[in-house]
Structures are given as C-alpha cells and as structure tokens.
C-alpha cells in the first residue's frame, strides 16, 4: 500500500504509544485504482473492533498524503516463525498450532458476521489469509491484519473479474479461478495455513506461480496424516474438510471450524 513506518503517537504529555503508519506515496495516490483500494481497506478496517484483528486508530490526509495509523503488534508474523522453524528442521507444536487456528478463527468469524450501521451484513471476506497476515505478539496474542484486498458489500471499487488478489499458495480453488468468493474461501485459506503449521510444508506446491495455481485449482492436497505421520487421522480429517474443493463440503462458517478444533482438543 506504499510506505510502512513505525511511529510514536502522543496526544497528551505522558500519553503515547507506538503505531504502524501506512502512507500512500504521492505517485500512488495519483493512481485512481490504488487509491480506491486504500480507501476500501480503511473503510473495511474501521468497521472492525475485535481482539484478534489489528485495530485501525486513525485515517487521514496531511498535505495531500493519505495515511492510516494502526495498532503496533510487538512480535513476529507467522511467516517469519515458520521460516525460523523450517531452518531448524522443526515445526509448530500441535497445541500451539491449534491455539493459533482458534484465535484466527475468532477474528475472522467476527469479520464475516459484522453488520453495518444499517443493520445489513457487510459480508466481509478477507481473501488474503496467509502466514504473513497473522501476527503473533510477544505475550501470546494472535491478530489478523491487512484487509487491503478484502471483499465487502461496502467496497467503493470492485475487483476486476479474473484478477487475482492475495497469495496464490493460500487461495481457494474458486479464488484462483476468478470466481465469486464468500466467507468459505477464508476457511479454505485457514485450512492451508493449518496444514503448513502441522506438516511443515504447504499442501499446494509448484515450480512457478502458474503451476501453483493449477495445483490449487485441481485441489488434491496430500493426506495430512500421511504427509505428517505425527498428526492423528482425526485431526487430519478436520483439516481435510476445510480444504474441500467444493465450498458446500467445507465448514459452513468459522464457528463450525472452531467447534471441530475444540472437540478434538477435548478428546
């Protein structure tokens, strides 16, 4: 979205906090499509207030430059954690992976069910649920960030048909095919993240972006219990349902996915 900075906000003497500033660079602000996307992100983000979603404090314009002030989460994103673990030949321990999944599901369930001031559903779909957009704080909080490509009823602009937005490794089959995406697409993406945390590898691979897209479109992920023998068949089945090719065969909402995870944890 442009330049990202860590800043210190001080409204009153002795009252200050660190925030993340997203600044739209002048040449990008002159691009109507880019500016529309930025305004879309601010509109979606400002409508969300949940402990598992990075909070947006302020949006404004100074001397013609648009900015967004967001919550600073001190820690790492899940992508960085996975990279460190892979370099060490390790993977995310199952209890921690399930905790992260549960927390992310809470935030996304809230976003999916959010209503506008008129009482109508906003129908928010994140569309870029991936390790880079899942922040893990030093004190154990898990937060979803970057609604820059989110789909919502309140969007000012509309994505072009067939135009891919997001990270292809984590997209749903309907998303890579340029089809309509609802909240069940986010469930699929979270299933991909779950597979990667538990197995130490992604379910869809390829030697090029085109090959990855084709792998996702075919949607024939390996059996998690076979790819990672340390994962129980019952947990593998939970993740496999999230990764169903047909959205109607997946969990129909994040609460249902959470219930399956919680039931497994209580066994």
Give the catalytic positions in this structure.
128
List Cα–Cα distances, 70 to 20, 61, 245, in angstroms. Answer: 5, 15, 35
* Ramachandran assignment for 143, one of left (phi > 0), alpha (psi -120 to 50 degrees), beta (any other): beta
- Please name the residue ranges forming H helices in the chain: 26-29, 32-46, 78-87, 94-113, 173-176, 183-199, 209-218, 224-227, 233-242, 254-265
d(CA 219, CA 173): 7
Neighbours of 193 (CB within 10 A): 26
The answer to whether 188 and 148 are in contact (CB under 8 A) is no
Identify which of 9, 157, 24, 124 has the alpha carbon closest to the alpha carbon of residue 70.
9
């Amino acid at each position: 979205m442009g330049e990202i900075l860590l800043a210190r906000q001080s409204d009153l003497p002795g009252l200050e906090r660190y925030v993340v500033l997203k600044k739209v660079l002048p040449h990008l602000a002159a691009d109507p499509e880019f500016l529309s996307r930025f305004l879309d992100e601010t509109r979606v983000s400002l409508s969300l207030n949940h402990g598992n979603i990075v909070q947006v404090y302020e949006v404004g314009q100074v001397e013609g430059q648009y900015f967004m002030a967001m919550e600073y989460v001190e820690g790492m994103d899940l992508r960085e954690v996975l990279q460190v673990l892979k370099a060490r030949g390790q993977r995310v321990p199952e209890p921690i992976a399930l905790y992260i999944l549960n927390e992310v599901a809470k935030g996304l369930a809230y976003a999916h069910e959010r209503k506008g001031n008129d009482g109508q559903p906003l129908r928010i779909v994140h569309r870029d649920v991936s390790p880079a957009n899942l922040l893990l704080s030093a004190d154990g909080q898990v937060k979803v960030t970057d609604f820059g490509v989110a789909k919502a009823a309140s969007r000012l602009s509309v994505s072009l048909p067939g135009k891919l937005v997001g990270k292809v490794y984590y997209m749903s089959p309907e998303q890579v095919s340029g089809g309509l995406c609802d909240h069940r697409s986010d469930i699929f993406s979270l299933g991909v993240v779950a597979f990667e945390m538990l197995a130490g590898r992604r379910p869809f691979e390829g030697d090029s972006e085109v090959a990855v897209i084709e792998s996702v479109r075919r949607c024939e992920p390996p059996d998690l219990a076979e790819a990672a023998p340390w994962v129980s068949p019952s947990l593998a089945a939970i993740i496999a349902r999230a990764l169903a090719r047909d959205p109607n065969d997946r969990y129909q909402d994040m609460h249902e996915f959470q219930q399956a995870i919680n039931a497994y944890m209580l066994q």
